[in-house]
Structure 1
Amino acid sequence: MVDHPRRSRNGVVCTVPTAIAVTSPDLVLPPHDRQTPPASVQPQDTLESSLLGMHALVEQHGYVIALYAASAENAGSAAPAELAVARRLHTVRSVLESDRIALLGIDLPPLGIALLSQQLRQLSVCDFSPGVLASSARLLAHYIYAGALLGSVTKLDRVPVSLKSHAKSWVPGAQFVVLANPRPQLVRLGQGQEELAGPEFGTRLLVANGPQPPSDWVTSTLAPAWQVQGVATVPLAAESARWWGTGKLVEFAAGLYDVSVLYQLVSSVRRETCHWCGLELIGDRCGFCAAPLSTLSTSLPPVQPSAARALPRGAT
């Protein structure tokens, strides 16, 4: 196990980072500052390259947290590429026989996974143990508002779509705004009921335009309505069009971005010790061995924690 020397960051005690890995380069967002480490991209070309890459990460960092799409765990709805990625990751961990690799299936759209990866990278240099960092992924995902503006919902199968919405999707020029997380919501634009449930705490909005974006509604209307504290445009992930069922889209994700607020949020949750592998955890399941908490003493906090309220909407 590697040594973790400490340093200071904005008053927060920091350490050499646990590696945060993703399955594609387009899930890597730019760091907020020089202290945020880059994400590691797990090679998927051959099993040998995947094994060598993961082994190198474990040797260098001690622990690795790898994120992948949770839909890959459902063979009925996952695309062949998603299934192949998930199987490759589990094969790599099995062959290496390592208990220092956490494989986390994340139930978020591609841009949401990229944002979560960025948040974990920010926290990876803080004084959280690898077990707490891995189990915090579910907590952080709870506060990510991920959705898209779509030109059609006829092929959307990730969010519940009524037959009426499917029928309206065939109307020329129809546009829909869909929220996939934290609570599914679908609204057709131009019907006078365009209010999309947004965060009640300060967030930064990421926007990724498809090659044929339906409109600028996300930046011109949604961002002011949500009172976001900044908007950043990022490239659209290759998987986004397939995830949302159309290439005519604008994907967006809003979440906490200040490392001190993220730190306070994770720190506010009671820590437990995994009865199976002995690592620290928060919530009700270990991020490394997936063992459930043996007691019911810990649960996720409500949607609006005091840590999140530390950045009120509209604050500068």
Structure 2
Amino acid sequence: MPTAIAVTSADLVLPAPDRHTPPAVVLHPPGQLDLAGALAETSALLERHGHLVAVVPPWLPAATVRRLHTVRAILETDRIALLGIDLPPLATALLVRQLRQLSVCDFSPGVIASAARLLSHYIHAGALLGSVAKLDRVPVSLKAHARSWSPNAQFAVLAHPTPHLVRLGGSGRGGVHGAGTGLPPGPGFATHLTFARGQLASDWVAAELAPAWRVQGVMENPLPADSPLWWATAKLVEFAAAIPDPAVLYQLVASVRSEECHWCGLELIGDRCGFCSAPLAAPPPVERAVRTVSAFSGSTSAGPPRPIR
């Protein structure tokens, strides 16, 4: 069985793009399941799948986060990864779907868990907002705050990978004024765009943003329940662009050299283990010294320093 990918809310489980993508597991919060039930639920998942990778967004209630850590501690297992991924809700759901796609590939559980940080860098996430007066996820100027009180004001906000804010014309189309110029910068690679409507009536995302970003497809999904809180307004249309092709995702992850975690022994890519959170071990002293001398001398004989992945 593939590694289990888990979420804490059913609205973070987007429809599978094909029949090969397995569903995500929805872990019940403390209000729906007591501790004994949570232990039994998780034990059954580990017995069936071997390893469990759970995405833990920062907006979760503290009681839910404590429950996840308590279950892992009581079970005394290193087969549960709790991934703290800080993306907007719809983008988080897209990342979860990508992990589900990778779970049926020949990657080890450690690589799948640590791939989440890599894949998140390739997600462009934002929203069309009717107000930025209370928005604290993206820097907002005083001028933008003031204009947020104007009737029919709309703002195109990119939260990830680079914050960007643009004030659109009153209709959500046409002229841009004040907070930025042009549309939010889009991805320079092939993506699909997913959007979800809140209490803002606008076709701007599908009619203008999608063609400008040259996406290969557009899909609408229900708005995650936590999106209004994350964006500080219910007047929004959330959007996120991500790589849809599992073959491209596979190549992206496979292109990164894997290491063995010096703490738990699982495979990892990047600079931190997804299961035990141990950082990548430092290179041997001789190798580290060569890199240091090369960096300061400008010599390339030892090759470039290994990039942070």
Shorter-chain TM range is: 0.7 to 0.9
Number of equivalences: 276
The answer on 1:120 being equivalent to 2:118 is no
Q: 1:300 to 1:116 in 2, by over 3 A?
A: farther
Q: CA deviation at 1:97?
A: 1.2
Q: Is 1:35 matched up with 2:14?
A: no
Contact 1:143/1:255, CA 8 A, preserved across alignment? yes
Bigger CA radius of gyration: 2
The 8 Å contact of residues 149 and 175 in structure 1, kept in 2 or not, is answered as yes
User: 1:263-274 alignment to 2 at 5 Å?
Assistant: 263-274=250-261
Equivalent pair of 2:3/2:50 in contact (CA under 8 Å) = yes
Query: Does 2:204 correspond to 1:217?
Result: yes
- TM-superposed CA distance for 1:300, in Å, is 4.7
Aligned equivalent of 2:75: 96
What is aligned with 1:238? 225
Once the two structures are superposed, the pairs formed by residues 1-316 of structure 1 within 5 Å of their partners are: 16-44=1-29, 45-46=32-33, 47-69=35-57, 71-72=58-59, 81-190=60-169, 191-192=176-177, 193-210=181-198, 212-295=199-282, 299-300=307-308
Which runs of no fewer than 5 residues in structure 2 stay unpaired?
170-175, 284-304
SS at match of 2:262: coil
Amino acid at match of 1:105: G
- The CA distance in 1 between the partners of 2:37 and 2:306, in whole Å, is 39
Q: Secondary structure at the match of 1:106?
A: coil
1:87 Cα shift? Answer: 1.6
When normalised by structure 1's length, the TM-score is 0.84
Contact 2:156/2:183 (<8 A) preserved: no
Say which SS state the counterpart of residue 56 (structure 2) adopts.
Answer: strand
What is the letter of the counterpart of residue 246 of structure 1?
T
Deviation readout 1:69-100 (Å, 9 max, x if unpaired): 1x35xxxxxxxx53222222111111111100
**One-letter identity of the residue aligned with 1:55:** S
Q: Distance in 2 between matches of 1:158 and 1:55?
A: 36
Counterpart of 1:222, as a letter, is L
The answer as to whether partners of 1:43 and 1:49 remain within 8 angstroms in 2 is no
Contact 1:50–1:92, Cα closer than 8 Å, also in 2: yes
Q: Displacement of 1:298 after TM fit? A: 5.1
Distance 2:5 2:228 in 1: 25
| RMSD over equivalenced CA pairs, Å | 1.4
What TM-score does the superposition give when structure 2 sets the normalisation length? 0.86
CA shift digits 1:156-197 (9 cap, x unpaired): 112221222111111111101111111111111122523211
SS at match of 1:135: helix
Contact 2:193–2:219 (8 Å) recurs in 1: yes
